[in-house]
């Protein structure tokens, strides 16, 4: 009698839930256990983002981000239709305010074209106003296929699917480490005891570096958390734009900048900015966790990064200190929101991988320690790409272990 192969998936965010789905699809006879330390899925990055389904404008052609984002859009759209989840192709404009930014738009357009983004085109300021009457700029890049979705709802649906498929979903159980034994099996250490598995796939997000190190993986990359503030505008601004309005990214700074984003519930939000977070998982109040602060402070890579990004940090600090200034930054692109009333939403916290050399890790990173696969970096467009990341990771595990699997 052949023993059933056992898989542990660590992390109940959208990527972990997508990995479970892919394991069920490709290895239907396997036993799968999903561990999530919180009492509900999607409690961290998945449940604290803007809900954008990115089309693939910015990513280096040929890289994992570019390839898995495009594949992920297709899979996400199909899954939303299958499960009856709201999915709105509202489109997006990246707006240039001056000639210098217009030149940078051309580089983004070139990348988007090489990445196969459908319908993307450069438009004039006049065409911009036809698409988005309240937006202002000298030119823009229009991506008609950019969409919005509720990623937490997608994750809950994936977890429901997993339960119906017989997956053992263990909420409130923290995985402390995964040790490969001499026989090749993996001892998973949890807050409720130890257990043996044949393979482990860790999608631990904000805790990915800590779990990897406790499991014998390399120290680098480390996770440096960046928080992003979100404001929801008063109801009269729900229809101020037809789609999403973004600035042209500053090449000197690694994040996209403050933008206007519709939600599938109709609300209009402004955000996020990006500033060093003093915690990985505290979303309200001062947001301070002493352990997380110490981890950043003793990371030499962080200080190398900080020295090279002081100008960007000063720029972001203004929006951190003043929500009114935050709104004014967005009003440069949509002047009608100047002076709008707003309410604060819980902040988001991004798990950004950082190399020992002080450079932010740009692409997705998967590291293997024998039968344990660690997803070490999956920032935006990680949610968009989640179902494709799952295909890629599970496909790699199947190939590395010589498993007989469905195509």
Residue 321's pLDDT is: 64
356 & 227 share domain: yes
338 & 352 share domain: yes
Residue 82 belongs to a domain: no
pTM for this predicted structure: 0.96
3-state secondary structure the chain: CCCCCEEEEECCCHHHHHHHHHHHHHCCCCEEEEEECCCCCCCCHHHCCCCEECCCCCCCCCCHHHHHHHHHHHHHHHHHHHHCCCEECCCEEEEECCHHHHHHHHHHHHHHHHCCCCCCEEEEHHHHHHHCCCCCCCEEEEECCCEEECHHHHHHHHHHHHHHCCCEEEECCCEEEEEECCCCCEEEEECCEEEEECEEEECCHHHHHHHHHHCCCCCCCEEEEEEEEEEEECHHHCCCCCCEEEECCCCCCCCCCCEEEECCCCCEEEECCCEECCCCCCCCCCCCCHHHHHHHHCCHHHHHHHHHCHHHHHHHHHHHHCHHHHHHHHHCCCHHHCCCCEEEEEEEEEEEEECCCCCECCCCEEEEECCEEEEEECCCCCCCCHHHHHHHHHHHHHHHHCCCCCC
**Residue-wise pLDDT tens digits, 174-191:** 999 999 988 889 999 999
How many distinct structural domains can be found in the chain? 3
CA distance 20 to 163: 10
Residue 307's pLDDT is: 85
Residue 56 belongs to a domain: no
Residue 64 belongs to a domain: no
Residue 371 belongs to a domain: yes
Pairing of strands 31-36, 6-10: parallel
Residue 2 has pLDDT above 60, yes or no: no
293 & 226 share domain: yes
User: Can you give the CATH number for the domain in which 27 is found?
Assistant: 3.50.50.60
256 & 328 share domain: yes
Residue 256's pLDDT is: 75
Residue 314 has pLDDT above 70, yes or no: no
Name the least confident of 75-89, 151-165, 313-327: 313-327
117 & 23 share domain: no
Residue 233's pLDDT is: 97
User: Can you give the CATH number for the domain in which 321 is found?
Assistant: 3.30.9
- Return phi, psi of residue 346, to 5°: -55, 140
179 & 278 share domain: no
226 & 215 share domain: no
Residue 406 belongs to a domain: no
331 & 345 share domain: yes
CA distance 55 to 57: 6
Residue 79 belongs to a domain: no
347 & 393 share domain: no
Residue 135's pLDDT is: 98
Residue 71 belongs to a domain: no
373 & 397 share domain: yes
182 & 322 share domain: no
Residue 161's pLDDT is: 98
Burial of 264 (0-12, 13-18, 19+ CB in 10 A): middle
100 & 24 share domain: no
Residue 54 belongs to a domain: no
* Nearest CA among 40, 18, 6, 85 for reference residue 375: 18
Q: Which residue range is the domain that position 355 belongs to? A: 222-360
pLDDT more than 70, % of the chain: 96
- Return phi, psi of residue 141, to 5°: -110, 125
């Amino acid at each position: 009698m052949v023993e059933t192969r056992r898989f542990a998936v660590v992390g109940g965010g959208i990527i972990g839930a997508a990995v479970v789905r892919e394991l069920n699809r490709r290895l239907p006879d396997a036993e799968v256990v999903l561990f999530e330390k919180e009492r509900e899925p999607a409690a961290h990055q998945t449940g604290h983002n803007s809900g954008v389904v990115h089309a693939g404008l910015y990513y280096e052609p040929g890289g994992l981000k570019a390839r898995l984002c495009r594949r992920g859009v297709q899979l996400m759209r199909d899954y939303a239709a299958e499960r009856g989840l709201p999915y709105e192709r509202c489109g997006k404009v990246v707006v240039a305010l001056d000639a210098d930014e217009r030149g940078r738009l051309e580089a983004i357009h070139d990348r988007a074209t090489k990445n196969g983004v459908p319908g993307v085109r450069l438009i004039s300021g006049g065409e911009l106003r036809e698409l988005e009457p309240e937006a202002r700029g000298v030119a823009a890049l229009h991506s008609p296929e950019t969409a919005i979705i509720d990623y937490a709802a997608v994750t809950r649906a994936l977890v429901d699917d997993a339960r119906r498929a017989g997956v053992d979903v263990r909420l409130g159980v923290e995985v402390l480490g995964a040790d490969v034994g001499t026989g090749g099996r993996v001892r998973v250490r949890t807050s409720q005891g130890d257990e043996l598995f044949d393979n482990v796939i860790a999608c631990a997000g904000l805790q990915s570096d800590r779990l990897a190190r406790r499991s014998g993986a390399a120290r680098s990359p480390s996770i440096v958390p960046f928080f992003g503030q979100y404001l929801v505008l008063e109801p009269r601004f729900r229809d101020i734009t037809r789609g999403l309005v973004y600035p042209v990214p500053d090449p000197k700074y690694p994040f996209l900048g403050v933008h206007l984003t519709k939600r599938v519930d109709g609300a209009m939000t402004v955000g996020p900015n990006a500033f060093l977070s003093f915690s990985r998982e505290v979303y309200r109040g001062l947001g301070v966790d002493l352990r997380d602060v110490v981890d950043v402070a003793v990371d030499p890579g962080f200080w190398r990064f900080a020295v090279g990004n002081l100008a960007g940090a000063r720029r972001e600090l203004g929006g951190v200190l003043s929500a009114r200034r935050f709104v004014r930054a967005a009003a440069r692109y949509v002047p009608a929101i100047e002076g709008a009333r707003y309410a604060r939403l819980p902040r988001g916290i991004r798990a950004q991988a950082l190399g020992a050399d002080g450079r932010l890790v740009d692409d997705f990173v998967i590291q293997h320690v024998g039968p344990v696969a660690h997803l070490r970096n999956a920032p935006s467009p990680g949610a968009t790409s989640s179902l494709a990341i799952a295909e890629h990771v599970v496909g790699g595990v199947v190939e590395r272990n010589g498993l007989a699997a469905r195509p």
